Amino acid sequence: MKKGNKYGVHRVIEPKGVLPQPANKIDNNMDEIYDNEILIDVQTLNIDSASFTQIEHQANGDKAKIAEIMLDIVAKQGKHRNPVTGSGGMLLGTVEKIGDALIGKTDLKVGDKIATLVSLSLTPLRIDKIKDIRPDIDQVDIDGKAILFESGIYAKIPADMPANLALSALDVAGAPAQTAKLVKPGDTVLIIGAGGKSGMLCCYEAKKRAGVTGKVIGLCHSEKSTKRLQDLGFCDYVFSADATQPVPVLEKIEELTGGQMCDVTINNVNITDTEMTSILCTKDTGVVYFFSMATSFTKAALGAEGVGSDVTMIVGNGYTRGHAEITLQLLRESDKLRKVFEELYA
């Protein structure tokens, strides 16, 4: 086997010298793997929510067109990096082959079912056939292969839950794990996009961390997601609003907090132009965590400056230590949360 670079630079075709994620094209030839790679037989792609929403809109909801767009992305780049959003997703598959240099250095073995916890925007991917598209949950079943680099992180699919359930939760594992780090007892927390997959997990984790002296506010988009979140009971207050309209949301948060605003705001939406809503609803000494890949960090930085806000803004790193274990544990802790996830995603 040929010797590979830890970060997968050996797979970059152009431009040379960059890492696989920003590369315009990478090598997705799976006939031969490098000595530090893991070959995966792919079953399901869990497309990043912002990416899938954009593709679905571009395709006018037509599944055949969605498949065509996805196949074109992979054909041109050797990976699934949405050229509009820049984001990817992650995958579910079975370990098919392990490079010689990794033998004895990994706990994986051939036949293990895993979810990759690195973005499809840097993962060498070959799609042989698109078998099914499930727009409601951003998942696409395929026949295909993928490569996990030596530096790539993953989670073995646990035996106590269905694979698609674990995949759906692991796709957004960074959000509730970062929430656990950011929220302190007594905090007032706003979750934007609270009725979605990452939002529900964040609401549960935020309430657990803020405790009885804290307050968790959930902002949802649709009546359906608002009702679902109210029924779960994780939030002290749930309301529906358009997060792209900062002033009405600001007025509501002023009312709910007595003008004190929020200590922590977690943005989980999959649409653009919600930066200012997040910033305005957060107090000067507070923190805004932009988990959403639809976030424009230029808009956020210049927007905060423009309104004289001294909030600390955190880029939504999808990885934090222990995030997979933390997130799967939430589904084990809360029967209500697991039931909703099983109904929606499994």
Determine if residue 14 is left, alpha or beta; phi over 0 gives left, psi from -120 to 50 gives alpha, anything else beta. Answer: beta
Residue 166: closest CA among 46, 301, 49, 248: 46
* pLDDT 10s digits, 200-251: 999 999 999 999 999 999 999 999 999 999 999 999 999 999 999 999 999 9
* Cα gap 207→211, rounded to integer Å: 6
Tens of pLDDT along 102-149? 999 999 999 999 999 999 999 999 999 999 999 999 999 999 999 999
CATH 2.60.40.10 for domain 174-345, yes or no, is no
pLDDT-based confidence at 90, cuts 50/70/90?
very high
Q: Give pLDDT, residue 168.
A: 87
- pLDDT at site 292: 84
In whole angstroms, what is the distance from residue 126 CA to residue 140 CA?
Answer: 14
pTM (two decimals): 0.85
How far, in Å, are 33, 161, 166, 252 from residue 92 at the CA level? Answer: 19, 14, 9, 40
Structure tokens at 121: 């925007």
Task: Enter the tokens of residue 318.
Answer: 């999808």
Per the CB < 8 A criterion, the answer to whether 4 and 10 are in contact is yes
Report whether 133 contacts 67 (CB < 8 A): yes
User: Could you read off the pLDDT of 174-204 as tens digits, one per residue?
Assistant: 999 999 999 999 999 999 999 999 999 999 9
Which pLDDT does position 317 carry in this prediction?
81
Q: How far apart are CA 160 and CA 328, in angstroms?
A: 10
Q: Break the chain into its structural domains and give their ranges.
A: 9-157, 174-345
Q: How large is the average pLDDT for residues 34-49?
A: 96
Residues for the chain: how many in total?
346
3-state secondary structure of 248: helix
Report the pLDDT value the prediction gives residue 293, as an integer from 0 to 100: 81
pLDDT value at 340 more than 90: yes
218's tokens: 């959930």
pLDDT score of 41: 98
